Chain A
Amino acid sequence: AQRVTQPEKLLSVFKGAPVELKCNYSYSGSPELFWYVQYSRQRLQLLLRHISRESIKGFTADLNKGETSFHLKKPFAQEEDSVMYYCALTIGMRFGAGTRLTVKP
């Protein structure tokens, strides 16, 4: 069965420090993965998708099929990055439990 695991429910870093939000998936085929973000009192919105290989708001994510991972990274965290992040697998439209990132000043 398809499954997405985000092992960290809470993650805290200092402003300017690098940040990595972990995401692992279980799927035997070729996955399509996304990161969604949810700002306070707003709807979930797409942050980035692995096939586009783009950087959004300084975030990047690389699909590692060997490790079945799709970790989200940013070299220098900003206070406005303090929101909820969800990793999602398109097959079956499954989501992880989410990671709440806090960037301390």
Chain B
Amino acid sequence: DVKVTQSSRYLVKRTGEKVFLECVQDMDHENMFWYRQDPGLGLRLIYFSYDVKMKEKGDIPEGYSVSREKKERFSLILESASTNQTSMYLCASSLSSPLHFGNGTRLTVT
């Protein structure tokens, strides 16, 4: 069974801090994704990656960056956290389809 692990379930950060959200998958999947999940807006794609060191912008990349140095790890970086980035962040991976999701990280920026 595919396991996608997000390092933190809950995170509280201050405005202006640099925040790292980590995601690791154990099935050698090529594709990895970061979404944010907000009530009434569903899942919105932030960034995705189809290979190591490759990244593509999703629909809402502003204020975020990503890093994929190793195939199994895909990190989401908030360069300077703001209160409007308070949300649930979901990581997912896939070989082709469907997606396999992590449990999510609920980030609160105060």
Query: A residues bordering B, Cβ < 8 Å?
Result: 6, 9, 32, 34, 36, 42-46, 49, 86, 88, 90, 92-98
- Interface band, chain B: 20 to 34
* Smallest CB gap from A46: residue in B: B98
Check if B48 sits within 8 Å of A93, measured CB to CB: yes
Check if B45 sits within 8 Å of A44, measured CB to CB: no
Main secondary structure of the interface of B (DSSP, over half): strand
B90 in contact (CB, < 8 A): yes
Q: How far is the CB of B92 from chain A (nearest CB, A)?
A: 8
Number of A-B contacts (CB under 8 A): 48
Contact of A97 among B33, B41, B45, B103 (CB under 8 A): B41
Check if B42 sits within 8 Å of A98, measured CB to CB: yes
Contact of B42 among A42, A49, A97 (CB under 8 A): A97
Q: Quick one: CB contact mask for B44-55 with A, threshold 8 Å, 1 for yes?
A: 110010000000
Q: In the complex, which residues of chain B have a beta carbon less than 8 angstroms from the beta carbon of A95?
A: 35, 42-45
Check if B33 sits within 8 Å of A93, measured CB to CB: yes
| Contact A94-B45, Cβ < 8 Å, known A43-B104, A49-B97 | yes
